[in-house]
Each structure stands twice: as C-alpha cells, then as structure tokens.
Amino acid sequence: MSLNFTNVCNKPYVFAGNNYKNNLKAVSFSGQELITPKVQEKMTAIESEIQKANKIAVFTHINPDEDAIGSSAALKNLIISKYPDKKIDVFIVGRTPHGAKCIDDVSSFECLNKKSDFEAIKARNYDLAISVDCANRDLMKDGSKIFDSAKKKIKIDHHPDDDNINNYADINLVCEDASAASQAVLLLADHMNVPLNKELATNVYMAIIGDTQGFRYMKKPDGVFEDCSRLTKTGIDSRKIYCNTMDYMPKEALKFYGQVLNNIKFSKDGKIAYLIDDSLAERNAKTGKYTNTSKTLKKDGLEKADVKGILDNVLSIIMPNIAGVKIAVKINEQEDRIKGCMDTGASLRGNGVNVDEFAEKHGGGGHEFASAFIGSKEKADDIVKSLSEYLKAKEQQN
Ligand SMILES: [Mn+2]
C-alpha cells in the first residue's frame, strides 16, 4: 500500500483525550513527526489484522519488567475496548515485577513454564500473535513456541534495530524514539480511535515509570511528559503507581539492602562506583565456601524479584548519584570451569557519561546511559581498571 505523504502529514494527530484535537502536528515523542507514512501504514495494517482475528495471543520477554507487562495489559485493554467479543490471552514467562500489582486483570494472564501443555495451547489456533517490548524472538523463551504457531504475527517494540535483523514478525512496528514500548501501544490506541480509559492509562503509565526509572532515563522527555499528562487526566492514581513501581521495599529486604549499600566500592579517584555480585554471598566459616546468595536470601524470606528490584535500584538510582561518581557498574564475576576462563558480566550506568560505547567494545549494548555486557574474559578488578581509563579518555575528549 502506498500512501500520499502530504495527506498523512496534514492529517491532525488526534489524541484520544480530544484535548489536542486542534493540534495539527504529531507531538508525541518530543514533537517529532513520529507518525511517518511508514508508521501510519503499519498501524493501519496492524488494526486490520486485529479486526480480522478472533483469537489473539499477546507475548513479551521473559521475566517481564514493568514496561513488558504494562504494555501487554494495555494492548489487551485497547483491543477489548474496541472489540469486546475478541478472545485475548496474555502469556507470561518467568517472574513479574512488583509494579504489576497495579494491573487490574494481571491474574488472568497465563504463566508458561516447563509443565505447560504447549500442544493444548497451540490447539487453540490463534489467528494472531502480538509481541510487545520484545526486541528479539528468543527473549520470548517458551512463549515463542505458541507465537510461531499463530497464523499472523506482529511485533510492537521500541528497542533500536538498525539492520532490521530482528524483524521476526509479519508486521514489525519499532518506535525507537519511545522511552517505553507502552508509548507505541498508546500510539496504536490513538490510531484506532480508542478513547483513553483509566485502566489503559494505568498500564501505560506504570510501564513508562518502569522503563524510564521514574523519569530518570528518557529518550524524548517532552514526549514522555506529554503522554503522561494525558494519562493522568483520566484520573489514575499516579502517586500509588509510582511508589509501587519505584519505591516498594519488603521488610525482609532491609538487611539485604544494607548489605548491598555496604558493599559499594570506589575507584581511587572516586569516579567509578562498583558493586561485585559475589561480595554479597556469605562465606561459611567451617568450609570456607561461599553460600549461594539466592539460598541465603530465600532463608530471609526474600523473593528473587525483590532482590533484583533492590539491585536495580542501587545500581540505577543510588550509585550514579553518589557525589563525584560518573559511572556505576555492577559486576557479576564468575568462572567458566569447563572452558577454564572467566565469564564475567556487567551492568553499567552513566551519570551523563556514555557507557554504551564501553559495553559495545565488550560485545554488549543497550542505551547511552544504561548498558550491559556478558561473557567477558576479564576479572572484576580489570573491568574497573579499564573503565577508569575509558572515563579518562572520555573526559579528555570534552
Ligand atoms: Mn521497554
């Protein structure tokens, strides 16, 4: 289908809230003409597939974060709002974040695991499978078995995919300027003329809070705030959603939280703050062996999701903002005993410093100020050293 460019650009971008009906420009995502003819064409194609399908399955990446689960819930809500008779199943693989408690119908989502009867689920014969916030197909894990069995497949995402190597669906809508995949879902809701409701807005908002780490990491801040302004107008409990997503702390976690804070170390010049995962394991005085951290924590009544939440919080929010710190890094140092070499991973956060280049040099990647890599042959100390050198070189450039 070819589209007349002029027609598309002249068409007012109608926000579902109708407050911006007279606004002639697409202002979502920082005033950019986000709705290019190509995006417009794709959204029209997506709508027509949704219209045709009776049974729809929604998927996202393993261990969904707030954006993944919020976008899934938002997509289900938007489809049901317009087509109440369609059957929509949302599938989840792995643990869900605490923010998911804000989603009304999260209990209706189906969890896939080793025991799931995949043949029986495939026999439901889904007409359409849609993935959200899932950059590549493998991240769906077991979900991909069902995704692949659907007659038509759609991907809605926001992770950059320069070479289109991850176009694993029939229609691939990737909005790279969106800070959360849920903003792309919101765009689709607008395109389909689905008015914003409180539930849909809650899901989209929670997803944005999660992926921007509470408005700290945004690709296009004005676009994020414009979208959030529309969402809050529906009467969502923005305080509750924010606190549930960002500030939740189970009592049992306090000891662990303190332990993590105590283990933050610094490079000599104080510009690199680092945390080595292993230092959190407890050493058995008799055997001299380290007890697996997750086992110790289980004893304390902590769930894996809580542990991850605390580590994310310390790495993304506390560490980069300690006075003088430019780069924060959490290093998971382990040895590959079979290969006889190190197999180290690291998550990086930059305080105004690009850390993505460093991660890319180590075979990883992500975003400018939040990036990661795995499978390095270096030890933790060496990574801290080369990070120091990397930072020095960066500072000399400026
Ligand atoms: Mn996301």
* CATH label of the domain that carries residue 266: 3.10.310.30
**Do 98 and 135 have their domain in common?**
yes
**Do 35 and 166 have their domain in common?**
yes
CA distance 138 to 337: 26
**Do 205 and 317 have their domain in common?**
no
**Do 164 and 297 have their domain in common?**
no
**Do 133 and 231 have their domain in common?**
yes
Q: How far is the CA of 385 from the centre of ligand 1 (A)?
A: 31
**Do 241 and 258 have their domain in common?**
no
Last residue of a domain, one of 193, 226, 247: 247
**Do 138 and 198 have their domain in common?**
yes
Q: How far is the CA of 285 from the centre of ligand 1 (A)?
A: 43
* CATH label of the domain that carries residue 220: 3.90.1640.10
What is the residue range of 188's domain? 5-247
54, two tokens: 């009776």
Last residue of a domain, one of 247, 270, 288: 247
Statement: the pTM of the whole predicted model exceeds 0.85: no
Near ion ligand 1, which residues have CB within 5 Å? 67, 133, 181, 211
DSSP states along 12-28: ----TTSTTTT--S--T
262, two tokens: 């105590």
**Do 257 and 320 have their domain in common?**
yes
Quote the number of domains for the chain. 2
Q: How far is the CA of 167 from the centre of ligand 1 (A)?
A: 17
Per-residue pLDDT of the chain (398 residues; tens, 9 = 90+): 333 333 233 222 333 333 333 333 333 443 345 677 888 899 999 999 999 999 999 999 999 999 999 999 999 999 999 999 999 999 999 988 888 999 988 999 999 999 999 999 999 999 999 999 999 999 999 999 999 999 999 999 998 887 888 999 999 999 988 999 999 999 999 999 999 999 999 999 999 999 999 998 888 888 899 999 999 999 999 999 999 999 888 888 888 899 899 999 999 999 999 999 765 655 555 665 555 565 566 667 777 777 878 888 899 999 999 999 999 999 988 777 777 888 889 999 999 999 999 999 998 887 788 888 988 888 899 999 999 999 999 999 87
Backbone angles phi, psi at 77, to 5 degrees: -60, -45
Last residue of a domain, one of 247, 272, 299: 247
Q: How far is the CA of 130 from the centre of ligand 1 (A)?
A: 15
**Do 242 and 258 have their domain in common?**
no
Cα torsion angle, 225, 227, 233, 234, sign: negative
CA distance 382 to 398: 25
